[in-house]
Structure 1
Amino acid sequence: MHEAGGETLNLLSSLGLNLSPQTLTVLAVALFVATYAMILLEKYVHRTVAALLGACAVMVLGILTPTQAWASIDFNTIFLLFGMMNIVNVLSRSGFFDVVARRAMIITRGEPARVLWIFSILTAVFSAFLDNVTTVLFMAPVVVTVVARLGLRPMPYLIAVILASNTGGTATLVGDPPNIIIGSVAGKGFGDFLVNVAPYATVATFLGIGLMHLLMKARGDLAGAGDSERLRAALTDTTPIKTNPKLMKQALGVFAVTLLLFIVGHPIGLEAGLVALTTSTFLMLIADLTPVELFEQVEWTTLLFFMGLFIVVGGLEHVGVFQTVAAGLTGVIDGNIGTGILAVGFASAIISGFVDNIPFTISMASVLRELQVTLGPAMDPLWWALSLGACLGGNLTLIGASANIVVSDIAAREGHPMGFVEFMRYGTPVALITVTVALGLFYGAFVLRGG
């Protein structure tokens, strides 16, 4: 595919098929639906293969050129994932997660409900001040170790970690990428999110954990930690843990610097992906490990899945699907902020459950910025509705947020593959209820303030 005479050549045009923009739009939507269908049929097609097939089709059919496809990949996300995977791998090799798991087991006393609540709350708190991908990369291995030693089924506990990371990340400017986008476009700061979003995200977090408790109890996932002998052995185990203190100190030091740069880096132009890539590379320099040793543990299938999905979603963005959706929402709002809260919030939640919320948030933020020119500060509630919808909606499906896919691949690596439908058994009801309650409370507060 190349440029010739000012026109882009591709397979279809070389065959004499010059498709109209409307036809390309239909093709882009059809390819997204087909890719999503293949992801649903995970028993027959691995989701990474499905995403790559969709990406190839987008380029072969000329919806995007290879250059445009490459540009549609969010390398900030890819670098963040790659860098944090390497840091977490070094922490794992040092024995850090085994140490944390043993202490966590003592704190929870082996009670499944305590395991659920303690790890979910910790995940939500960490996700509010870090990005949620970093949090789940850190928490998921610990959860797997703890529940496996207690004889519990890991899957629902890992799903609980995913849900808590997405709800907790909603609370602050740095917790989830859509919030970073909104903060940048709307000129909102950390304190603005704490005041206008954090209260509703906090309610959603505790409500979500409570709903997971009820769902897990109904399905027997909180029935107990196996036989008493196994539990007693797990709680009284004094076997020395094999650790590498020097490597652990190095990894924890780099991890602490990385977290600090996550918090202070964005205002000075250091994106999270660049920070993670730089600090993880420095860790490889000082640690007594070869890149080959570390790279063998990188979740390459996760990275390639995201790259393929970014290209498929980039095709939708390129033909104007997101702009059309955003414009339609603008027509529905028609200057009514109360209606806008519900329209923007729920539409963002639904769309974010099925496509990456980053390009949609960028498109919708552009529309809201235009509204801000005419409505001024009066339309600020729409920014917060967009944040709540886009972030909380990530819990709807397994591909709704980056954290979901990362935990899914960690689970598969540990021998506990997470099915698309199985995730929806827990995630979808929790997402629907938390989104409805959070947006309902936000709308109610808006009305009470005389909006």
Structure 2
Amino acid sequence: MHSTSTSLLETLGLHLSSSQVTVLALILFGLTYLMILLEKYVHRTVAALLGACAVMFLGLLSPAQAWGVIDFNTIFLLFGMMNIVNVLSRSGFFDVVAKRAMILTRGEPVRVLWIFSLLTALFSAFLDNVTTVLFMAPVVVTVVTRLGLRPVPYLVAIILASNTGGTATLVGDPPNIIIGSVAGKGFGDFLVNVAPYAVVAVVVGLALTHFLMLRRGDLSTELSSERLRLALSDDATIKTDLPLMLKALGVFAVTLALFMVGHPLGLEAGLIALGTSTFLLLISRLNPAELFEHIEWTTLLFFMGLFVVVGALEHAGVFRQVAQSLTGAVGHDIGLGILLVGLCSALISGFVDNIPFTISMASVLKEMQTQLGPAMEPLWWALSLGACLGGNLTLIGASANIVVSDIAAREGHPISFMRFIQYGTPIALLTTVVGLGLYFLVYQLFGS
């Protein structure tokens, strides 16, 4: 049985032409973007859901069509990885890692910077950067305040490391998750095509962070040796559940292995993450209701709302027109396309959240693929490098930035927009130029 739904515009007797539908879709998209930018007044999840509701109310997409444009591979991947991380957290794994890292620093600010930044980059690559900063930021605040250091520069360093490290893999940064799903790319594809440049960017970015913090006097402590010894000695016992930790680490290892082999077998990353995380819930014997309370539902609903708003643009043919223009500008010069897509993505991602931008741009590249074929494959990796590394340009460039900013404010160490720019902008510019430049050079030398 089929049911028909009438839009608000049709009820009012308004029948729009295709060009008017396109304009209306662009207006709604622009207003949603504006609300996301003004997150001080409207939460970005509310903004995305309002935009999605407007799309359906005005009949740009029916509710069934709106449901169809949501990329559930992305939603399942995020949901599954969040569950695995929650179980790891419940087992005490991250507390153990943080305590070991604290001991390794020996109270030296330089070691604090490098050890916690490298740990953040590593965890961000395999757990996703938003989840990583949620547990790393409070730990860093505790460590640096105990050592008599100013927390803000170290928190900014954590943000920069999380975005740069997250660039390396399919699951590391939300833009990569989106690209992987839209372009049909697997975990191994990102390891080969993006990870080498991301690793170089991590080292280069951290070296520049070190230099900037040294110049501003953020790498020195005035604690006496006795106070330093007391700061490092922490008698608080860490509660750990070793059997649960081993189960969670085992399932996490299996998940990564399946990511590697799943794509050639036709298994999407979202299905793998959902399946393995559900199995972990089964063998962990934990209460799912309690675990689900710690899922970042606002992030998942933000994605779903955005997919609907962007889906309206796709339905109106906007991306087809943009893709034709971009194809005309690039022609068959894919090297020019790498620079154009990569640098524009970095610049735009710095001033608008890189998630909605990537959802939009991925749709454009998918349309370009129908015109240029497999030759345009390098543009996917240029988008990944640009969107992820460009997220460090400003405080609103990426989700991890906003999450750490909220944690810092809650801990009494607010990060101002201008304070972030002092570190983030030069590091974003350098890592983007180095990462994209190396990729462009490799393509020119070995690309077909």
What TM-score do the two structures reach when normalised by structure 2?
A: 0.81
- Aligned residue number for residue 371 of structure 1: 372
Per-residue deviation, 1:207: 2.5
Alpha carbons 1:254, 1:279 under 8 Å: kept: yes
| Structure 1 residue 256 corresponds to structure 2 residue 253 | yes
RMSD: 3.9
Q: How many pairs are equivalent?
A: 440
Which of residues 322, 332, 336 in structure 1 aligns to 2:333? 336
Whether 2:351 is the aligned partner of 1:357: answer no
Q: State the shift of 1:161 in Å.
A: 3.9
Q: CA deviation at 1:12?
A: 1.0
Q: Quick one: distance in 2 between partners of 1:226 and 1:56?
A: 55
What does residue range 38-437 of structure 1 map to in structure 2 within 5 Å?
Answer: 38-128=35-125, 130=126, 133=128, 136-138=130-132, 140-151=134-145, 157-171=154-168, 197-214=194-211, 216=213, 222=219, 224=221, 231-352=228-349, 354=352, 355-368=356-369, 370-372=371-373, 382=379, 384-396=381-393, 426-437=423-434
- C-alpha offsets along residues 144-199 of structure 1, whole Å, 9 cap, x if unaligned? 22432431666654554443344334445775676688789999888876666444
Structure 1 contact 185–369 (Cα < 8 Å) conserved: no
Could you say if the C-alpha distance between residues 70 and 399 of structure 1 is closer, same or farther in structure 2, counting changes exceeding 3 Å? farther
Q: CA deviation at 1:400?
A: 5.3
Whether the aligned pair in 1 keeps the contact of 2:56 and 2:63 (CA below 8 Å) is: yes
In the alignment, the residues of structure 1 paired with residue 70 and residue 427 of structure 2 have an alpha-carbon distance, to the nearest angstrom, of 30
Query: Structure 1 residues 293 and 386 mapped into 2: Cα distance closer, same or farther (>3 Å)?
Result: closer
Question: Which moved further from structure 2: 229-238 or 402-411?
Answer: 402-411
Shift of 1:10: 0.6
Q: Is the 8 A contact 1:72 1:314 kept in 2?
A: yes
Q: Secondary structure at the residue paired with 1:9?
A: coil
1:42/1:419 contact within 8 Å kept: no
Task: Tell me the alpha carbon deviations over residues 204-226 of structure 1, each in whole angstroms, 9 at most, x when there is no partner.
Answer: 22232234345555676545497
The structural deviation recorded for 1:364 is 0.9
Deviation at 1:102, TM superposition (A): 0.7
Structure-2 change in CA distance of 1:314 and 1:120 (3 Å): farther
**Does the aligned pair in 2 maintain the 1:136–1:162 contact within 8 Å?**
no
Deviation digits for residues 44-76 of structure 1 (CA, Å, limit 9, x no counterpart): 222222222122122222222222222222222
Give the whole-Å Cα distance in 2 for the aligned partners of 1:45 and 1:246. 43
Report the more deviating stretch, 427-436 or 253-262. 427-436
Distance 1:52 1:197, change over 3 A: closer
Residue 264 of structure 2 aligns to a residue whose secondary structure is: helix
Letter matched to residue 326 of structure 2: L
Task: Please give the alpha-carbon distance, in whole angstroms, between the structure 1 residues aligned to 2:290 and 2:411.
Answer: 18
Specify whether residues 9 and 183 from structure 1 end up closer, same or farther in structure 2 by C-alpha distance, changes over 3 A only.
Answer: closer
Aligned to 1:31: 28
How far apart, in 1, do the equivalents of 2:182 and 2:80 lie? Answer: 27
Structure 2: runs of 5 or more not aligned: none
Note if contact 1:302-1:409 (Cα within 8 Å) is conserved in structure 2.
Answer: no
Contact 2:259 2:272 in 1 (8 A): yes
The 8 Å contact of residues 38 and 50 in structure 1, kept in 2 or not, is answered as yes
CA distance in 1, matches of 2:304, 2:441: 40
Task: Give percent identity, aligned residues only.
Answer: 68
Distance (Å, rounded) in 2 between the aligned partners of 1:333 and 1:384:
16
Q: Give the deviation of 1:93 after TM superposition.
A: 2.1
2:263 counterpart SS class: helix
Greater Cα shift, 282-291 or 415-424: 415-424
> Which segments of 5 or more consecutive residues in structure 1 lack a partner in the other structure?
none
